[in-house]
Chains A and B, each alone.
Chain A
Amino acid sequence: MAVFQLQQQWVDLISALFREEFLDSQFTQLQQLQDESNPDFVVEVVTLFFEDSERLLNDLCSTLHQRVVDFKKADAHVHQLKGSSASIGAQRVKNVCVSFRNCCEEGNLEGCLACLQQVKHEYTLLKSKLEALFALEQQIVAAGGSLPTM
């Protein structure tokens, strides 16, 4: 019974993530890539994404707060972030990255800073949600259930 409830919760959570466009189809593809031979694929990738993103965000922060801002460098960072967020299907982060890059190309510092704040915000949101999701998954697995298929 508890497993079923957990599963229900998980479904609700993930459909909310899709509905609110935190995630897109790419995430589904990731999930499809996960199988017996590679049981923790999604978690691995997402964790990688978190690490990578945190590093990038820090770099961005320091780049943008220098006295002479190197927009090229910032652009490269944002490009990285965009690539990885696209890979895991973090749609909202990716979308902010697109406008971020535009700001970088224009050399618009204020815009960049605003975008940085937004990206951070989106990233934190996503991170908390995904962490919640993974926690749920672990609970489900611990309870002996399997993840429901989407």
Chain B
Amino acid sequence: MAPMKLLGSHALGRSKECGGWGKWKVRFLALLVFSFIAGSFWVFSQVEELLENGENVRVSWAEKAHLLHEQFNLSKSKLQSLSMLFTSSDQNCAGIFNGEKWANCKRDYLERLSQILIVCFILLCIALISNGGPVYSKLISFLSLQSQQQYKRQNFKTGGRWRKKILFLGILLGVLVSVWIFFSMNAAMTARRKETLANMCDERARMLQDQFNVSMNHVNALAILISTFHHGKNPSAINQKTFAEYTARTSFERPLTSGVAYALKVLHSEREVFEKEHGWRIKKMETEDQSPVKGDYTPEKLDPSPAQEEYAPVIFTQETVSHIVSVDMMSGKEDHDNILRARASAKGVLTSPFKLLKSNKLGVVLTFAVYKDDLPPNATPQQRIDATVGYLGASFDIASLVEKLLQQLASKQTIIVNVYDTTNPSVPITMYGPDVVGTGEVHISNVDFGDPNRKHEMHCRFKHEPPPPWSAITTSIGVAVIVLLVGHIFYAAVNRIEKVEDDYNEMRELKVRAEAADVAKSQFLATVSHEIRTPMNGVLGMLQMLLDTDLDATQQDYAMTAQASGKALIALINEVLDQAKIESGRLELEAVPFDIRVVLDNVLSLFSDKSQAKGVEVAVYISDLVPEVLVGDPGRFRQVITNLVGNSVKFTEDGHIFVSVHLVEEPNCFHDVSNHLSRQDANDLIENNTDLSQDTLSGFKVVDRCKSWENFRIFKSTAEATDTIKILVTVEDTGVGIPQDAQNRIFMPFMQADSSTSRTYGGTGIGLSISKCLVDLMGGEIGFVSKPGVGSTFSFTAVFREVRKNSIDIKRQQPEQTVPDFRGMKGLVVDGRRIRADVTKYHLQRLGIDVKVETNPNSAISYILDAFSSRGTGHVEMILVDKDAWGEGSGLAFAHPLVELMQNGALKPQKILPKMLLLTTSLSPTEVDGIKSSGYVDCIIKPLRLSMLTACLQKALGVGNKKLQDSQPLTLKSLLANKQILVVDDNLVNRKVAAGALKKYGAVVTCADSGKAAIQLLKPPHKFDACFMDVQMPEMDGFEATRRIREMEQRVNEFIKSRKASADLYGNVAHWHIPVLAMTADVFQATHDECVRCGMDGYVSKPFEVEHLYSAVAQFLESNEVESLS
């Protein structure tokens, strides 16, 4: 049990410690991990944003530079202001745009960061809750009562399940968060990409539009030029040559036009004149056979135009398109429509894209109408038509235009641009761009070329697939991994906690079971011991009876051996029973008055044989301050001392065993016992060079006894109850001592210093454990100090009550000891050792002898000589000398000078010679002979006890009575013989049986059948020596009857005292007190107390048992006898 307990507690402690530290470590780790994650997120996102921003800025700036460059190239004078305007506005725009973007990014990033932080916080909270959960539940269940253990366990279980659920929820949440992070980041990137695309597309569309518009304006200007210089002047200032030259030189202003041409409006009526004037025929634009226009396109091969209402033959052309001179523009379908629309609207109009003549490229033709005079701004279309004199056309090569534009811009590689004419939305015509169907998102920007009837769109798309969103993937995977890792950590922690909890529960269950088993064991032991004791008593009783019969020597020996064994067995059983009783908490202490000195004398007598055989000196010293009579449990007190002294005797081979009793309050008990007694002799000490450390009872070295009680609480507490007596008992020996490693388990039951101890010395090792328990019960503490090879000192304290004055018959507890013979006598104790002398002095003082101590032989001799002389002031009746007063056998030699003096006659004997007595532990036969010759009257064998000392002194001094000498045990028969005894019982049968039993032991029995009758009979004077009183009687029970008897006696005693009545009247007895013994069937403590309270002297159980009867009767009948004798 004990080692298991030890192990359990150790393991528990370790795991607890581990758990506490581990928990903190885990929390700390989690915090670290989270802060790391948060930090990495922060850094990551910041870097990312910076990178993205940088890229954007670079791109936009590069584009702007190109734009600027382009614009600058376009027209220095015109574009100076334009570019300034454009740049500044664009920069503004860019700034705003950038700022917006920054704000967006920042907001985005902050949002994300906060979200991540929230997630982290939630996780941390979950972790804390899951960790803290059991702590709270433990706290709660700790506060609640232990009876809720079952509940607690369930709580633990559910707690564990909840923790796991929360953990899994947390992990799931974490994974979801990581997924969400992925999608949100991905979406943000896509949006950004889309935005970039839109920006680029719009930019391109705008540029295209602007450039187109510039060219268109120039064409318009050209139209005005023609109107002014060709039609406004007569003769015309322009001919083909001038026109070609002018247009060639100004072509840089129309970078997008492949060529310009001017066609004259010619009515059919004017055709003949016109043809003649120019020398060529108006030709039709397309050949009849509609064959595709070839590279060797020549107007000469064209057919002349068929007769029409009007014609628009080209008269001036740029060099690049000189092949269309004389071609009728009205004959081409696209051109025809264009011309009609242009002259009606007075604006530039565009054809739908078509293959240009000769160059065979896709292009559009821009047509402006040339009016002969200024038109009012609000002219009707008809007026415009009428005013038309010709048409200026310019062909735009869209493909090359866009190509050129794109080449000027950066990042043309990344996007694909398509330009469509969407005048007819269902059939868009591709104006530029590869026919490949691009991937991904398409951004559409409207392009306004200034012709309201035509719609154009620019379609942009990225050339490449968007790259996989690596940052989003890595971030989300990182978060997921971290979440899973943290989850794993917590899972492990939760598992660990669960395991520890399970272990804890298991341990507790085991503990409960072990405790239950322990209690069961104790109960079993108690029961079994009791059951064994009953028959053992029978065995012992029978053996005792057998020994009383006539037996021959061998039989006697056998029987005695059997009895001794039986006694040993019953002692052991009693010990076990005590242990069991104490462990099951059933042992209760009595509270009766007792004389502590008598108790100690008894203990010493018990061990005197053994100690004498070993030559070990045993002594008792009780401080004067300890009251004579204490109230407590003498039996248990005696048991403790017996245990301790028994151990000491067992383990001490030579030296001494010294029992001392002091009050706890006594200040000097902290020092050596002799110090306060011998302060006046301090000088002697110095003279004698007595080694203080060796100044022990036997001269052997002892351990420092103060250490044995230094841990006692009783010395620290100062609270004092008024009538409590705190006693400190020390038992000092010079034995083998207790090995250091065994010292901490010395008070455990069944533990001895080591297993060899029981082989060498025997015993069960239960004594000290019982002693400890008993001392605890007595409100004291027990401790010891021991040094192997030097000896041990056990100390214990016990709390008793002081006896109340006027309480009943204390004297009864200490019978016959108050022998008045020695009162007033004077004695001298001669001993070199102060402690020993003090012990002797203590015993002599108990007899009322006035004692002087001499430690120096010379002063002792002179004192004795002084005593011998008649004139001497000091008269002594006895001189006690220790045999080993100043070393081995020196006591014997001490008296030689005296003897010599006496023999010489120098010392005249007085009429009363002081008697010289020798104190010794053992005496060899030769020494016995030498005693008388050395001048000693007798010797006293230690240990000193009151009774023994009394006997010896009486013998030596020739005083005292004979009775003490024949101290052979009185048998029941001798006790009861011829005693007048009254038996009071209402039950006839009981009365008869009790009377019969008492008669058997020779008593003269009178019977009474009720309490009243008993009172009548016991009215003093009467002849009875004792009364046996039944407790339960009708009318007047035993208690009541006793009370009345006592009242009656009290009255009589007062009478006698006050001499109102002569003692003769009352049978010449000075003090009337009849011993009343209760007869009762149930012997409870309560009954016993009741008995004492109403003045009974004891009780016997019904039916009579011989031993009990004897012990009960012996107590007072014997003392009666002594009283009557004395």
Contact = CB atoms under 8 A, between A and B. Distances in A.
Interface of A: 26, 29-30, 32-33, 35, 37-38, 41, 44-45, 48-49, 52, 76, 79-80, 83-84, 86-89
B997 A84 contact: no
Contact of A86 (B997, B1032, B1081): B1081
Contacts of A37: 999
Contact of B990 (A38, A44, A87): A87
Contacts of A41: 996
A37 B1002 CA distance: 11
B989 to A, nearest CB: 4
B545 to A, nearest CB: 11
Interface in B969-1014: 986-990, 992-993, 996-997, 999-1000
Interface in B188-208: none
B347 interface: no
Contacts of A88: 989, 993
B920 to A, nearest CB: 48
Contacts of B997: 29, 33
B1034 interface: yes
Contact of A45 (B986, B993, B1000): B993
A60 to B, nearest CB: 15
B905 to A, nearest CB: 68
Chain B, interface size category, equals: 10 to 19
B655 to A, nearest CB: 50
Contacts of B986: 80
Which of A35, A79, A83, A86 has the largest number of chain B CB atoms within 10 A?
Answer: A83
A56 to B, nearest CB: 10
A45 B999 contact: no
Contacts of A89: 1103
B218 interface: no
11 contacts: A26-B1103, A30-B993, A38-B996, A45-B989, A48-B992, A49-B989, A83-B989, A83-B1102, A84-B989, A86-B1103, A87-B1102
B86 interface: no
Given A33-B996, A83-B990, 13 more contacts: A29-B1103, A38-B996, A48-B992, A52-B987, A83-B987, A83-B989, A84-B988, A84-B989, A86-B1081, A86-B1102, A87-B987, A87-B990, A88-B993
Nearest to A51: B988
Nearest to A30: B993
A32 to B, nearest CB: 8
B1103 A45 contact: no
B1028 to A, nearest CB: 13
Determine the main DSSP class of A at the interface with B: helix
Given A29-B997, A35-B1000, A79-B1032, A44 B992 contact: yes
B987 A80 contact: yes
Contacts of B992: 44-45, 48, 87
Interface of B: 986-990, 992-993, 996-997, 999-1000, 1032, 1034, 1081, 1102-1104
B252 to A, nearest CB: 137
A49 B986 CA distance: 13
B10 to A, nearest CB: 53
A84 B990 contact: yes
B990 to A, nearest CB: 5
Contact of A83 (B999, B1000, B1081): B1081
B994 to A, nearest CB: 8
Contacts of A83: 987, 989-990, 1032, 1081, 1102
A29 to B, nearest CB: 7
A23 B1034 CA distance: 27
Contact of B1000 (A33, A86, A87): A33
A30 B988 contact: no
> 7 closest Cβ contacts across the A-B interface?
A84-B989, A87-B993, A33-B996, A83-B987, A87-B990, A49-B989, A87-B989
A105 B422 CA distance: 121
Contacts of A76: 1034
Contacts of B996: 30, 33, 38, 41, 45
A1 B993 CA distance: 35
B1037 to A, nearest CB: 12
A89 B988 CA distance: 15
A87 B999 contact: no
Contacts of A87: 987, 989-990, 992-993, 1102-1103
Contacts of A30: 993, 996
Nearest to B987: A83
Contacts of B999: 33, 37-38
Contact of B988 (A29, A33, A35, A52): A52
Nearest to B538: A25
Contacts of B990: 83-84, 87
A30 to B, nearest CB: 7
A53 B392 CA distance: 162
Nearest to B993: A87
B537 to A, nearest CB: 12
Contacts of A79: 1032
